[in-house]
Amino acid sequence: KQEVTQIPAALSVPEGENLVLNCSFTDSAIYNLQWFRQDPGKGLTSLLLIQSSQREQTSGRLNASLDKSSGRSTLYIAASQPGDSATYLCAVHHRGSTLGRLYFGRGTQLTVWP
């Protein structure tokens, strides 16, 4: 069974800092890994999707890396802003499971204060 862990559970930083959020998964047999953002009481916004054959993906100030063999991914946020405050979820699409079924971590709750 695939288990996804995210560290830290919560993070509070001043504006402008560069951040690293960590995600680990127990089974490296994955199709892809996806990072989401969730605002309070809202649905999920997809940030980045990394295929199992890829090492990283970038979108604006966000950079996500994937080390499948070690079961780890990091989300790097450059020059953080108060608008980045949200919960960030990591999810993996595990091979052998129903196509599209994702396993989620509990998330990292990020607060960026001005």
Partner 1 sequence: GAVVSQHPSWVICKSGTSVKIECRSLDFQATTMFWYRQFPKQSLMLMATSNEGSKATYEQGVEKDKFLINHASLTLSTLTVTSAHPEDSSFYICSAPLRTGYYNEQFFGPGTRLTVL
- Token representation of residue 99: 């196509």
Residue number, 29 or 79, with CB nearest to partner 1: 29
At its nearest, how many Å lie between partner 1 and the CB of residue 33? 11
The 40-79 site mask, x for binding partner 1 (CB under 8 A), equals -xxxx-x--x-x----------------------------
* 82/37 Cα distance (integer angstroms): 14
Provide φ and ψ at 84, rounded to 5°: -80, -10
Burial of 95 (0-12, 13-18, 19+ CB in 10 A): middle
Summarize as ranges the residues that interact with partner 1 (CB under 8 A): 4, 31-32, 34, 36, 41-44, 46, 49, 51, 89, 91, 93, 98-102, 104-107
